[in-house]
Amino acid sequence: MEWSSKCAANAYLDTLKLCSKQNENCSSSGTQEPDGKEFISALAAGMSAKLMVEVASKISPSTVALAAAARQTGESDRRKMAK
């Protein structure tokens, strides 16, 4: 597996942006440290995860994080296929 710092950073920032829009679904602990959702997003995107699975009964902060990571890893696949 190859680490992509660009995808990791983009997923991290995307998660922050999405969570700021959906404050009630991604409530922060009030600290200045990144929450787990940003870490999950950056890790999944940075490792170019092809399969991401979450089992939950409703949308959670990790759902948003994985969606942001999937957006990053999916874009790189589309670019490769276009070449």
Q: What is the pLDDT of residues 1-56, one digit of tens each?
A: 689 999 999 999 998 888 876 664 455 444 444 578 889 999 999 999 989 988 88
Q: Is residue 29 part of a domain?
A: no
Our count of domains for the chain comes to 1
Q: Is residue 68 part of a domain?
A: yes
Q: Is residue 27 part of a domain?
A: no
Q: What one-character DSSP code corresponds to residue 48?
A: T
Q: Which two tokens stand for residue 16?
A: 């922050």
User: What is residue 24's predicted lDDT score, i.e. its pLDDT?
Assistant: 47
Q: Is residue 15 part of a domain?
A: yes
Structural domain span for residue 64: 1-20+37-49+57-83
- Total-model pTM: 0.68
